[in-house]
Structure 1
Amino acid sequence: MGGPARRRVVDEGFVQRLSAVADVVPGVLEDFESPSARRVLADVDVLVTGWGCPPLTAQVVAGAPHLRAVVHTAGSVRSHVTSAVWERGIAVSSAAAANAVPVAEYTLAVVLLAGKRVLASAEAYRRARDHAATVVSDAGGNYGSTVGVLSASLVGRRVVHLLRPHDVRVLLHDPYVPDAAVRALGAEPVGLAELFERSDVLTVHTPLLPETRGLVDAALLARMRDGATLVNTARGAVVDAEALTAELLSGRLHAVLDVTDPEPLPAQHPLWQCPNVLLTPHVAGSAGNELRRLTDCAAGEVERFAAGRPFAHPVTRAAMERSA
């Protein structure tokens, strides 16, 4: 993993848990090419990876003849798990499920705030501070409102689960999930166009794949109700940035954007000054003490592997084709 990842996730407790079931090589590799790295790779059975891990190319895999498992302390393994890993039959695990927890919690919070029109009310309150007592909350509320969830990803499924105690109607669109399975999750299955037409708040959880780049385009955004809110905690490029900017600057829609395209936006981009947009710096994912959840997940996977048990959170080649 890269230096920043090492400083964020490798603490004494993590190393102690690994050391209880394995011989842990001192230090952290930041590359696979140096002589010292090649010496380490020649002996390892399990490679624990993190953000900034270089690709496990065919050459790297060939230099690690004993490698049997890759345990990732973050979500996506797309940047470093290559076809060479699958062809060798190396097992792969990811902490994506652990990272989904804070993203879903953040999403729940902003969905409910959006339904209450909190951002608009706060802005009106600020502007009218000289006569604040006269400010009355704008129309809004969550009782009986409709929340649309785009994609039954790990985060999307958890968002549906977290919405269950609330008095909202939940719609879900995912072309890979049968209607019966969507209903079992606690949501109403709908088509893509209907999702955008009916949602008061629509939250995007689609992984960025070649076929999903720009999926949320001008035509779909135009189907959203006046005053509806788009929440994006997935990837900025899933949404047509130009089309979304036009809708937001018109004042017709609201948005909570934890991700953008590009990320961050240029300093002079108009969305920085757009009052109906909340921009956050990719904070929905694991941060602070939430990183411990990632390392606990990874340590648990190494413990399972050492005990001869299957991973609790395996990643398969087929699944990776449709996931982040």
Structure 2
Amino acid sequence: MASDIWLPIPADEIDGIPAPADTGLDYRFWDGGPEYPADPADCVFYTVPYMKGVEAAVRPMAAMTSVRVVQTLSAGIDHVEPGLGSLHSGVRLCNAKGVHEASTAELTLALILASLRGLPGFTRGQDAEEWRAGFYPALADKSVLIVGYGSIGAAIEDRLVPFECARIVRVARSARTTARGQVHAISELSTLLPDVDVVILSTPLTEATKGLVNASFLARMKDGALLVNVARGPVVDTKALLAEVESGRLTAALDVTDPEPLPPGHPLWHAPGVLISPHVGGSTSAFMPRAKRLLAGQLTRFVAGEPLLNVVRTIE
């Protein structure tokens, strides 16, 4: 009988997971390497290797004929979607909600503050022994728009509140009301963009959001506005963004790019007003403890036959 649990973290490093002797399960360590730890057909719970790319994520999925759960350690699921069609009906796909919110929100604020306050220029000035004094934009009194108001978008707002922004505007796939106020539908973006100073992208990558930030979107942003992308690179049309930043009309802070990794010689590297971090929104010291807690909880529920957390799709 199939009984393997595939984990990208050694099982003996995860406190609280069910003991194999008590469950009949076998834990197999696989972090995306060329050799599988066992026959994929015997895997019943597949934890996708973290940040190893689409090829590694989907490689064993077609052979996982007994799998019942696919668990990502990322908030997004776009890297496993190409393999979902090979899975049998009833497989539950779970994401890592609760693991990345704090770290991604931290980096979002860091990118905003670094961009507005001119920190990249200060670093270059220090290297050149130049004292670059002057007045720089502040986050205080700015209007901020969050596009993608899920758990990460809400965590970003939590951290924006103490900075005395003039207002925070929220946008999601559909309109709703939260304890903090109105969430606008994504269809309202064209009317919201001209009135904000900072636009934060924290939306999942889907067919609906791919290329969302195109030339028309960017043209609606006010002169001097800052675009911050902590979502996925393909949410933004890179060519359209380059046209705006090279003209000096907009600035950008990007934790994700399209293409990614950004290759040497790409014009984004040296585009004026662009700050780039190498997709490190969730890659912090907070990741591993939270990922381990998530896996321990999910596996405990799985063994007990209890409902899993963070089920984002069930294969039909």
Alpha carbons 2:103, 2:282 under 8 Å: kept: yes
Q: Structure 2 vs 1, CA of residues 142 and 260 (structure 1 numbering), >3 Å: closer, same or farther? A: same
Identify the residue that residue 3 of structure 2 maps to in structure 1: none
Secondary structure of the corresponding residue to residue 315 of structure 1: strand
Residues 215-234 of structure 1 correspond to what in structure 2 (within 5 A)?
215-234=212-231
Identify the residue that residue 17 of structure 1 maps to in structure 2: 17
1:54 equivalenced with 2:51 (yes/no): no
Identify the residue that residue 82 of structure 1 maps to in structure 2: 84
Q: Structure 2 vs 1, CA of residues 15 and 205 (structure 1 numbering), >3 Å: closer, same or farther? A: same
Secondary structure of the corresponding residue to residue 148 of structure 1: strand
Offset at residue 111 of structure 1 (A):
2.4
2 CA distance for matches of 1:26 and 1:207?
31
1:251 equivalenced with 2:244 (yes/no): no
Identify the residue that residue 93 of structure 1 maps to in structure 2: 94
Identify the residue that residue 297 of structure 1 maps to in structure 2: 294
Of the three residues 160, 164, 186, the one matched with 2:161 is 164
Q: Higher strand fraction: Structure 1 or Structure 2?
A: 2
Q: Which shifted more, 196-205 or 299-308?
A: 299-308
Q: Which shifted more, 20-29 or 141-150?
A: 20-29
Q: Which shifted more, 14-23 or 144-153?
A: 14-23
Of the three residues 138, 149, 173, the one matched with 2:171 is 173
Offset at residue 154 of structure 1 (A):
3.0
Offset at residue 147 of structure 1 (A):
0.8
Offset at residue 28 of structure 1 (A):
2.5
2 CA distance for matches of 1:187 and 1:35?
48
TM-score (norm 1): 0.77
Of the three residues 181, 184, 193, the one matched with 1:189 is 184
Alpha carbons 2:93, 2:312 under 8 Å: kept: yes
Offset at residue 36 of structure 1 (A):
7.5
Of the three residues 133, 138, 141, the one matched with 1:135 is 133
For residues 184-227 of structure 1, give each alpha carbon's deviation from its aligned partner in whole angstroms, at most 9, with x where no partner exists: 34456372013321221111112222232211111221222222
For residues 154-179 of structure 1, give each alpha carbon's deviation from its aligned partner in whole angstroms, at most 9, with x where no partner exists: 3222212332333111112223232x
Q: Structure 2 vs 1, CA of residues 55 and 273 (structure 1 numbering), >3 Å: closer, same or farther? A: closer
Alpha carbons 1:160, 1:187 under 8 Å: kept: no
Identify the residue that residue 105 of structure 1 maps to in structure 2: 106
Identify the residue that residue 148 of structure 1 maps to in structure 2: 145
2 CA distance for matches of 1:37 and 1:135?
60
TM-score (norm 2): 0.79
Paired residue total: 297
1 CA distance for matches of 2:31 and 2:291?
19
For residues 47-79 of structure 1, give each alpha carbon's deviation from its aligned partner in whole angstroms, at most 9, with x where no partner exists: 333343336756632xx2xx4433333334451
For residues 226-280 of structure 1, give each alpha carbon's deviation from its aligned partner in whole angstroms, at most 9, with x where no partner exists: 2211101111111111110111111121111111111133322222223411111
Offset at residue 149 of structure 1 (A):
0.6
Alpha carbons 1:93, 1:313 under 8 Å: kept: yes
Identify the residue that residue 71 of structure 1 maps to in structure 2: 71
Secondary structure of the corresponding residue to residue 93 of structure 2: strand
| Identity fraction in percent | 30
For residues 127-176 of structure 1, give each alpha carbon's deviation from its aligned partner in whole angstroms, at most 9, with x where no partner exists: 9845x2x72222x2222211111122332222123323331111122232
Alpha carbons 1:170, 1:186 under 8 Å: kept: no
Q: Structure 2 vs 1, CA of residues 14 and 257 (structure 1 numbering), >3 Å: closer, same or farther? A: same
